[in-house]
Structure 1
Amino acid sequence: MMTELSLSDKIAVHASRLGPSGLSPFAPGTVGSAVAVLLAPIFFMPLPMWMRIAFIAVLFFWGSIQITRAEKILGSKDPGEIVLDELVGQWITILPFAALSFWWMVIAFFLFRVFDIAKPYPIRDSEKWLERGWGVMIDDVLAGLYAMVCLGVLRFLFA
């Protein structure tokens, strides 16, 4: 990483890493998802549905720009330390649910991680649909949608 960064460069890297989450020496994507789950009851779940949707849309667009910038600064395409996309995907997983108990949040976490890691069709291909940070974000959006549907089915069957 370059030694002399502008404030906007520092913000891009810090935001893309989701603070220190992306610097985890073990499974930074999983750590980023865990942070997203921990932050959701405070910053996401209390919002009305329209604000949740708007918040995710803003995070997607702003985050894609920040990730694009961070990739350039870090000198790597989608480095593991970039985990802002995990926050977006994890929050998409829980988007339609008014409230989730601790155990349903744990299930949401694991479902998202399974789809984000396994990348079933077309998730893996989606990384190539868009360039730079946009491609980094889109696969987590799709993984979040897959996990959301599965979580909805599980809640319908077992809640």
Structure 2
Amino acid sequence: MLAHPSHLLAQGFGSGLSPVMPGTMGTLLAWLSFAVLSTRWPEFFTPFNWMVIIVAGFVVGIWACDRTGRDMGIADHGSMVWDEIIAFWLVLLFITPADTATQVWAFLWFRFFDMVKPPPIAHFDRRFKGGFGVMWDDIVAAFYTLLVFAIWRTL
């Protein structure tokens, strides 16, 4: 992880090195960091700034995940969780303000879509390779999660 800065980022500052469910650990890091940063520095971590951070994080994540995948010899190694972090920040940005129960449901739905990869997520996962592919399928999982919430809120 410390061999190159791209590895540190792609592996979620170590959260992706968990021997048990690294994607879930990366998503938990996303949740914790979003909550802490938004609470501790609300004047900086505004919705607009979060969107800038997420877009920049997506672009930098393409590079970091591509480089880390090449260095590890596996394009989408399980220890790379920056994609989960960026995608779950996006989910949290759009559902906030939300109570803890709503955030738990967002976490569960996001993990479900990320693990099961219903169409077209599986298609994107197979079609797009490299850093963009690693990052993009989680953005689609975030979209599905937000779609569930949009439908739920209209009922």
1:98–1:109 distance in 2 versus 1, CA, 3 Å: closer
C-alpha deviation, 1:142, in angstroms: 0.2
Which has the larger helix fraction?
Answer: 2
TM-score between both structures, scaled by the size of structure 2 = 0.88
* Correspondences of 1:113-128 after superposition (within 5 Å): 113-128=111-126
Aligned length: 151
Q: Which runs of 5+ in 2 are unaligned?
A: none
TM-score between both structures, scaled by the size of structure 1 = 0.86
**Structure 2 partner of 1:99:** 97
Asked if 2 retains the 8 angstrom alpha-carbon contact of 1:92 and 1:148, the reply is no
C-alpha deviation, 1:19, in angstroms: 1.0
Tell me whether 106-115 or 94-103 shows the greater mean CA deviation: 94-103
Asked if 2 retains the 8 angstrom alpha-carbon contact of 1:94 and 1:148, the reply is no
1:34–1:156 distance in 2 versus 1, CA, 3 Å: farther
Q: How far does the alpha carbon of each residue in 1:84-107 deviate from its partner, in whole angstroms, 9 at most, with x for none? A: 000112122222233121111111
Q: Which runs of 5+ in 1 are unaligned?
A: none
Asked if 2 retains the 8 angstrom alpha-carbon contact of 1:17 and 1:23, the reply is yes
Partner secondary structure for residue 66 of structure 1: helix
Partner secondary structure for residue 100 of structure 1: coil
Are 1:75 and 2:69 matched, yes or no?
Answer: no
**Identity in percent:** 30
Question: Following the alignment from structure 1 to structure 2, what is the Cα–Cα distance between the partners of residues 44 and 148?
Answer: 20
C-alpha deviation, 1:130, in angstroms: 3.2
C-alpha deviation, 1:38, in angstroms: 1.1
C-alpha deviation, 1:155, in angstroms: 4.2
Q: CA RMSD in A?
A: 2.0
**Structure 1 partner of 2:51:** 53
